[in-house]
Amino acid sequence: MNFFRFIADSLHLLSFIIIIYKLHKDKSCRGVSAKTQEIYLIVFCTRYLDLFLYFVSFYNTLMKILFIGVTVYILYLMHYQIPLKNTYNRKTEDIFPHIYLIPFALIMTILIHSNWDWWEFTWSFSLWLESVAIFPQITILTKNNSVENFTAHYIASLGAYRFFYILNWIYRYYYEDYVSFVSVASGTIQVLLYVDFYYLYCKNIKNKFISELPLTSEEKKLKENEVN
């Protein structure tokens, strides 16, 4: 455990909290991809099979159970909880064919993996699948051509989480002499998918901040002239 991993895990949990809060507050699934959550559930269930194999630490076990449990809860809300389930549209909004992400992850795992051991192979598969899990969510944002605040914060948290995990790997390389090429490669791909979003995210925050600043006397006159 190090500072970077703790921050990364905290950001990851924050992303779940944001989505759950948004669903309960808005009573709507608009802008949220259940398909991305379904892919994440596959990621967590394959990566955390070691829950039944050995015990590392209380923190490690708690985080794994939380990630799986919270993802299941989000999917329950979107698919079964009224009125939320009535606002989720899989045919016209959440349209990305996410099933194709699984063969992609399998191919990448065969090409780039840590070991042919079944556990290492499964772990590598979960990393490659996670690297592209955000595609259905990005597709919704692109289709709607807009990003709600909660959805934007959710994606920003996910991108930041993976960025801090890269810092964690750098830290482990220098101080523990450990490096996982699969983690670095898949994590880098994942971060790159967020670059364009982060540019728009920061730009929107900047524009919103500027728009909320009090106008100067000259700006007020110009605005009055535009109205007149």
Residue 226 buriedness (CB in 10 A; 0-12 / 13-18 / 19+): exposed
pLDDT digits (tens, 9 = 90+) for 155-204: 788 888 888 888 888 888 888 887 778 888 888 888 787 776 666 666 66
Tens of pLDDT, residue by residue over 47-73, are 998 887 778 889 889 999 999 999 999
Picking from 119, 124, 102, the residue whose alpha carbon sits closest to that of residue 52 is 119
Mean model confidence pLDDT for the chain: 82
In the chain, pLDDT over 70 holds for what percent of residues?
Answer: 82
**What is the dihedral angle through the alpha carbons of 18, 21, 24, 27, rounded to the nearest 10 degrees?**
-50
Any residues with CB less than 8 A from the CB of 16 and at least 6 apart, and which? Answer: 67, 70, 71, 74
Alpha-carbon torsion, ordered 7, 106, 109, 48, to 10 deg:
40
Weakest-pLDDT range from 8-22, 65-79, 181-195, 210-224? 210-224
Q: How distant, in Å, are the alpha carbons of 101, 177, 183 from that of 110?
A: 14, 25, 15
CB burial of residue 36 (10 Å; 0-12, 13-18, 19+)? buried
CB count in 10 Å sphere of residue 227: 6
Are 136 and 94 in contact by the 8 Å Cβ rule? The answer is: yes
Residue type for position 177: D
Q: Which of 106, 97, 160, 153 is nearest to 129 (CA)?
A: 106
Tokens of 140: 């919704």
Are the C-beta atoms of residues 120 and 113 closer than 8 Å to each other?
A: yes
Q: Which of 22-31, 65-74, 212-221 has the lowest mean pLDDT?
A: 212-221
Q: Which phi-psi region, left, alpha or beta, contains residue 75 (left: φ > 0; alpha: ψ -120 to 50)? A: alpha
Extents of the domains making up the chain: 3-212
What's phi and psi for 109, nearest 5 deg?
Answer: -65, -40
Can you tell me the distance from the alpha carbon of 156 to that of 144, in angstroms, rounded to the nearest whole number?
Answer: 18
Distance CA 149, CA 24 (A): 15
